[in-house]
Structure 1
Amino acid sequence: MTSNAITLEPLAQVIGGRTQPTDDYWGGTQAILRIDGKRFDEQALIGLDAFSHLEVVFFFHLTDRTDLPLAARSARDNPDWPKVGPFGHRNMRRLNWLGVSRCRLIGIEGLDLHVEDLDAVDGTPVLDIKPWFHEFGPRSETHQPAWTTEMLADYYAPDKPEDPR
Structure 2
Amino acid sequence: MEQFTVEPVGYVVGGRVKPTDDHWGGTEAIIRIDSTRFPVESTKNLDTFSHLEIIFHFHLTDQNDLNRGARSPRDNPEWPEVGVFGHRHMRRQNWLGVSRCKLLKVDGLDIYVQDLDAVDGSPVIDIKPWFKEMGPRGEVSQPSWVSEMLGKYY
Band of TM-score, shorter chain: over 0.9
Post-superposition shift, 1:33? 0.2
Residue matched to 1:147: 145
2:37 aligned residue:
39
Alpha-carbon RMSD: 0.5
- Quote the Cα distance in structure 1 between the aligned partners of 2:85 and 2:2: 22
Alignment map for 1:85-164 (pairs within 5 Å): 85-156=83-154
Read off the aligned partner of 1:15 and give its amino acid letter: V
Q: Which letter does structure 1 place at the counterpart of 2:131?
A: F
Q: Deviations over 1:95-150 (max 9, x none)?
A: 00000000000001111000000000000000000000000000111010000000
Residue in structure 1 matched with residue 58 of structure 2 by the alignment: 60
Partner SS, residue 128 of structure 1: strand
Q: Which amino acid aligns with 2:99?
A: S
Shift of the alpha carbon at 1:4? 2.0
Rounded Cα–Cα distance in structure 1 between residues aligned with 2:24 and 2:57: 18
Which deviations, in whole Å up to 9, do the C-alpha atoms of 1:8-57 show, x marking residues without a partner? 00001000000000000000000000000001111101111100000000
| Residue identity opposite 1:151 in structure 2 | M
2:47 maps to 1:49: yes
How many residue pairs end up in the alignment? 154
Matched AA of 1:144 = Q
What SS class does the counterpart of residue 43 from structure 1 fall into?
A: helix
Quick check: which has more Rg, 1 or 2?
Answer: 1
User: Identity percentage over the alignment?
Assistant: 62
Listed as ranges, the gaps of 5+ residues in structure 2 are: none
Cα distance in 2 for residues equivalent to 1:71 and 1:8: 26
**Alpha-carbon separation, structure 1, partners of 2:107 and 2:46:** 12
